[in-house]
Amino acid sequence: MSLSLALKAAIGILMVDSIIELSFVSSMVAWLHLTASKGFSFNSDGSSHRLAGKPLHMMVDQGHTTNGAAGTAFVLIGLGGIVALTLRHWSRDAQGGSRGFGRFIYQLWVALNIPALLLTIGALAYVFAVTNKHRGQTIDVPLAVSLNGSPYPLEDWTPQNWFSAVLQLDLTSARDDIHSHLSVMRGWQYNLIPMFIIQLGVTILVVLEFLDWRRQYRVLAQGEK
């Protein structure tokens, strides 16, 4: 397989994976706002009590960072790559400023692959660092009972860690629903790993293919003189 074909295939795989990542995060956000925000019921000392669906200090920046990395991978590297490679191909038969414009867009896209990869690396490191830092936190049941449905005020929580703690309570319902959406939350967290690997592969192929294109372009330019 040529470098060009390998690059196009890798871009396609990255777009699919980044769409999965965006879908996971969007699903979590929708569930948090539409369902979890209504709260849950749990049993303690023979009585049923209300627990707010979200704690007072819910950490969401890691989700925004992940969304940004996945959106950048899909739009800038994926769709942008399709446009840039198409313009590069079109510029071969163009003349004057149109030819230069096509090369400029392509070279700009090549350069933007590096900061886009760094954004994904940053999102990967940030999400795992924050989640691991707050792993193992538990809900103080007597305090939760006394709150009577008000947001739980102690500690900072990621969505993954909060709902892991909620599942340790004697819930009266919604356990399966929480389990299902907790899997989605962990899904977007761990999907950052293959997304990073795929994007790293895309970036390497972009650089190699760019060097090959530049070599061919120089040979072509010399032949036109």
pLDDT, tens only, 52-74: 999 999 999 999 999 999 999 99
What is the model's pLDDT at position 127? 96
Residue 188's pLDDT is what? 95
165-169 long-range Cβ contacts below 8 angstroms, 24+ apart: 165/137, 165/138, 165/139, 166/40, 166/51, 166/139, 168/138, 168/139, 169/40, 169/42, 169/44, 169/51, 169/139, 169/141, 169/144
Q: Which segments of the chain have a pLDDT < 50?
A: none
The pLDDT tens digits of the residues spanning 201-211 come to 999 999 999 99
Question: What pLDDT does residue 91 have?
Answer: 74
Look up the pTM and report it.
0.89
pLDDT of 220: 60
- For residue 223 the two structure tokens come to 């032949």
Closest CA to 106 of 79, 88, 118, 127: 88
The confidence score (pLDDT) of residue 90 equals: 82
Would you state the pLDDT for residue 192?
Answer: 97
